[in-house]
Structure 1
Amino acid sequence: MSKTHLTLSAAALNKQPVPASLGRDNLLSILESVVGPGAFVFSLWALAYYFEGGIYPPYLILSVIVFALTFPGQARLQSSIPGLIADIAVNWAGVAGLLLISGFATGYLREFSKGALITWLWVAPLTELGACFVLRIAAPMLLELQGPRQRAIIVGMNEQGLALADKIKNSPYARIELTGFVDSRSADRLSSPSPQNLLGKLSDLASLVQANRIQLIYLSLPMASQPRILQILDELKDTTASIYFVPDMFVTDLIQGQPGSVCGMPVISVCDTPFKGADGALKRISDVVLSLLILVLISPLLLVIAIAVKMDSSGPVIFKQRRYGQDGEEILIYKFRSMTVTEDGGTIKQAEKNDQRITRLGAFLRRSSLDELPQFVNVLQGRMSIVGPRPHAVAHNELYRKLIKGYMVRHKVKPGITGWAQVNGYRGETRTLDKMQGRIDFDLDYLRNWSLRLDIHIILKTIRLVLKDQQAY
């Protein structure tokens, strides 16, 4: 992919390295990481209140230390009950021993009630054990809340691929549904004696992914297949599936390339979303809070613009158009109508300078970006984000996905009201293929290097640009 358009990489704005993913994108995994530390802290607080009538500073300091020592908690959902009990006992013995030795050496033990500390030594592991049992009971319901399982394909029916398949099938809490394998070898050369789950050959992979609505692809191919792997990656750039390598290998041009694990099997993400686990929650919370605040502040302005649009020309106040959202799913976005037409068909003409379809008021709304304000409602709906790749009309997507390699990768995240490309000179009309290529380069750069700091930078730069930018027609 060409990088000639990138004058400033998003990585240059991130002073701290992106932390390696722990693979905790499952709600159950997130809860597992906090259930143990949380049990220790809340049992300590309960005993402090019982023995001393309140949670005083020494207990608060101890709770912070305990949480720091034990977070993240271990994955124990699939452990046997004897193994679970033994594991909790051994780990707590180590933590409690360290705390007692430190407290005795510093004299800090005198700050606590003797009864509270002695009781906590046996109540804390029992509380963690009880919390683990509660999580096991609630696990099926929590899995249902997360929606349907993600459909997966393993490319390569070899020993490594079959081992991964076995791990997935024996992991009831994994949100993965294995659809089958893809391999071009004949049946007598495959590792499996009965390849009943073989879906097709490597040449059919891209079409199989689209036909079966595959969301996860695990490439289990040997290093000797590197040229073929690169060809496969090129073909899969017209899909929105997340791609992982099994086992480790070096690949250039990664999108959120991070080591992780699937049911204990090591993998490397090749093309994935940056908004997983805590980062995903942080992104969504910031979107909801900011969009609510902005909508409250601009509600009088929205009413004035709505009345002005209605008086300026005939037609609806709000223009609705189909766009591609996250994972390539169609969404409806809202804008104040700025043209005499409301095109949403198979062919859509981009607005140009001095376009006769633009109304008198519409020219001002588009130049000032006020026509985009209703999209904060889309953000609240969860269809869009405040910052992300700008959504294109469906007709434009179908055109450019065939002309620009990696075009569909930008749909790994929710589209945004503003984006990294827009604040770097790619706002408004993209008359040539070269300009659209530049916009896509910046969109992918955003995916590789996302941080909350980058989002804030884009928002502030957008505010400055809309006051003087004349590129939007």
Structure 2
Amino acid sequence: MDISTPSTGATASYRRSKRLLKNHESLVALFQLSTDIIVAVVLLYLFASFKMEEFPAAYRVLAVIASFCIWFIYSARGVYRQSSDYFRGCLRLTGAWAMMLLLLSLIGFITKTSEIFSREVLLLWAMSILFAQNTSYCLVSYCSKKYKENYERNLPTLVIGTGSVAQHLVESLNKNRWLPDKVIGCVKSLEKDETARVSGVKVLGGLENIRSLIKEHDIRRIYIALPMKASEQIDGLNIDLLDMNVDVIWAPDIFALNLINHSVREVAGIPLISINESPLTSSRISMVMKELMDRSLAAIGLVLLSPVMIWVAYKVKKSSPGPVFFKQERHGWDGKIIKVWKFRSMKLHVEENGEVTQATKEDPRITEIGKLIRKTSLDELPQLLNVLQGSMSLVGPRPHAVAHNDYYSDKINAYLARHRIKPGITGLAQISGYRGETETIDKMEKRVEYDLAYINNWSLLLDLKILLKTPMSLLSKDIY
């Protein structure tokens, strides 16, 4: 029996131990990380020994904990990302060191051990490490840059494709001083495409003459930047280039899709591309942090704003017959129906056929106090109760009435994707001027565009920026 060649079934079922997503760790980054840890330990030893003429056990424990914290935080934050310039690298390094000090302070507070350390030693250590690490980063980066410029040979590279991803690849590869790839030109995927253009390099031809282009330009690496619908073509290209002794890398053009919080990760060696994922489900830590910030600030806000809310409640009650609060069913996180609280700003009325008519300027239904609280957004304050309940967030896409969602869902692309995160009292669209009446489809499209941009770029820092800018946005003349 011939066992030299495995059968097709055996080949298909064979599980490779080799991971599909490689972690290309840089020796330079590893050297910098090791150097920073050693410098942190040595300086702590020197300052403690000078102050106390010994290196106490508590400081030895601190040195070990600090080493592990530096390794974890610096790696997770991508401190030594080599494509950055010196300023950005130092800024990222400073932020990571500040985070490390904050973590050590938290550990000291929880374990009640902070009092056993000399504040003078810790302060000198923190300041000197910051200076030493930034100096080391700039020095190593400079030496590495000079080495690459003088001794590393560029890899002649081709990019297959002429779309937006191909354009981005060409610019990024040729501008990145750390990568050896030098893009010689692009290859168009369609033979008859005479309009193919990529700024910065020439379009050298089509796929029909790619083998001759590889030999002519001594190409060592090829990036395939074709849309995902060309998967069969990509498979054929891979087979055709196997005997050309070139590296072949696929950069899938997924950006023509409506991406929501997209990312790439790996499970059991299989690369996974998330093209639609809620930022709250993709990171448990982020979800917990946002919840803590929302509920704590909402509780503080209710206490501080209680005099204003009591005054508004009194005025609303006096303005016209009816309840102080108005509750409306709206879609929340993942499309679930929630009841949103507001101060009533209109006279009681009944909509025909269950429709919800958007308020307009000079709307006769709006009361006198209603004009004021809508103009200043004071009518939204009861939604702090929604935040405490967990059905809303301080920052997020504004929840629209259910009837409005039903109307716009089939008129605006990806409209319902707004529900991939909790709705908010304020949001990116609101501080960008898209508040009030959306009497045209275009205005609602812009609001949805900002809502999706918020979801794709969500962070606690972005939430804080929006909260700080919200008071200024209330001065807009378009609010009524």
Question: TM-score when scaled to structure 2?
Answer: 0.49
Larger Rg: 2
Question: TM-score when scaled to structure 1?
Answer: 0.50
